Chain A
Amino acid sequence: MRKLLLVAVAAALPLVAAGCGEKPTVTVYKQGQYQGKPDKQPWDNEQFKGDKVAWEKALKARNVGQNEYERVAAH
C-alpha cells in the first residue's frame, strides 16, 4: 500500500513541478534585417541628379498645394 502511494506521488510530481516552471508565452517580435536589393534615394535619378534640395522643394510645393485655404487665397 505504501509502495503504491510512493509510485502515485512520484507520478504526480512532474505535474506539480510543471506548474512552477511556466514560461512567459507573450511573443516579443524582433525586426529582421532587410534581405532584399538596396534601393536608391528618390533624388538619385536623371530628373533630380542627386539634388536633394530641389527634390524637397518640388515635394513641398505639392504638399502645401493640398491646402485649399492657401491655394484659393493666392489667386
Chain B
Amino acid sequence: MARMKFLADAERCIECNGCVTACKQEHEIPWGVNRRRVVTLNDGTPGEKSISVACMHCSDAPCMAVCPVDVFYKTSEGIVLHDKDLCIGCGYCFYACPFGAPQFPQDGAFGLRGKMDKCTFCAGGPEPDFSAAEFTKYGRNRIAEGKLPACAEMCATKALLGGDGDVIADIYRRRVTTRGKGSEVWGWGTAYGKPESKPAARPGAKS
C-alpha cells in the first residue's frame, strides 16, 4: 500500500464547502474547530481559484519534529495521527505546520487552549477501532471500514481526491491531459466556443 494523500484540483473546486460540511458532520466537530477549510484566491474576479486545505499528511511532517511530548505517529499508510491523551496544547505544531492544520478548541471561561485536533484522514486514532472513545476524541474511522475520507468522497466535482497517492496521481494526470487549458477548463470556452474562434471581444465582456 502506497502513501495516502489528498490532492486538491483548483480548476474544479467551486467553493461549495461540501468537504468542510462533510468533515464537520462525519466527526461531529465542535464549533470553532475546522479540520478542513476552503481557501479562495482572487475571490470575486473571473478565474478565481479555490482549494480545499486540511492536514496534508506530510511525508516529513514538521509537526512531528517540533512536538515536545511526541504525540504524533505515522501509520503504515503514511497517515499522520496523534494521541490526544498526551497533548499539552502548547501550539508548537500549529506554528510549524505550513497548512494551518492543527486546531485548538477553546474551553472554559478564559478561552483555555484545549488539546490539538486535526484531520485524521478519517483514520481515527490510537483507541480501539469503532469505540466510543475513538469517536469522541478523533471522529469516525472510515479507513478501518474500508472507505476513503468523507470530504473526498462527498466532493461533487471531484476536485478533492483522497487515497493512494499513486492512484489519485494517475486520475489527476488523465484529467489534466483530457481537459485542455485556459477557458476550456473552467467552462466558458466549452459553453460559448473557444476564445480564438470568437469575434473580437466587446468592451466589458467576459473572456
A interface, CB within 8 angstroms of B: 29-48, 54-56, 58-60, 62-64, 66-69
A-B CB contact pairs (8 Å), 26 listed = A29-B62, A30-B65, A32-B64, A32-B65, A33-B70, A34-B73, A34-B83, A35-B69, A36-B73, A37-B83, A37-B85, A38-B126, A39-B81, A44-B129, A45-B129, A58-B146, A59-B148, A62-B146, A62-B153, A64-B167, A66-B162, A66-B171, A67-B171, A69-B174, A69-B175, A69-B178
In the complex, chain A residues whose CB is within 8 Å of the CB of B144: 42-43, 45, 47-48
Q: How far, in whole Å, are A55 and B128 apart by their CA atoms in the complex? A: 17
Interface size class for chain B?
35 or more
Q: Is B38 an interface residue (CB 8 A)?
A: no
In the complex, chain A residues whose CB is within 8 Å of the CB of B70: 32-36
What's the least CB distance linking A41 to chain B, in Å?
Answer: 7
Q: How far, in whole Å, are A60 and B77 apart by their CA atoms in the complex? A: 13
In the complex, chain A residues whose CB is within 8 Å of the CB of B207: none
In the complex, chain A residues whose CB is within 8 Å of the CB of B69: 35
Q: Is B147 an interface residue (CB 8 A)?
A: yes
Q: How far, in whole Å, are A6 and B143 apart by their CA atoms in the complex? A: 75
Q: How far, in whole Å, are A32 and B167 apart by their CA atoms in the complex? A: 31
Contacts A34-B70, A37-B85 given; indicate if A45 touches B174 (C-beta within 8 A): no
Q: Is B191 an interface residue (CB 8 A)?
A: no
Q: Is B26 an interface residue (CB 8 A)?
A: no
Contact of B83 with A41 in the complex, beta carbons under 8 Å = no
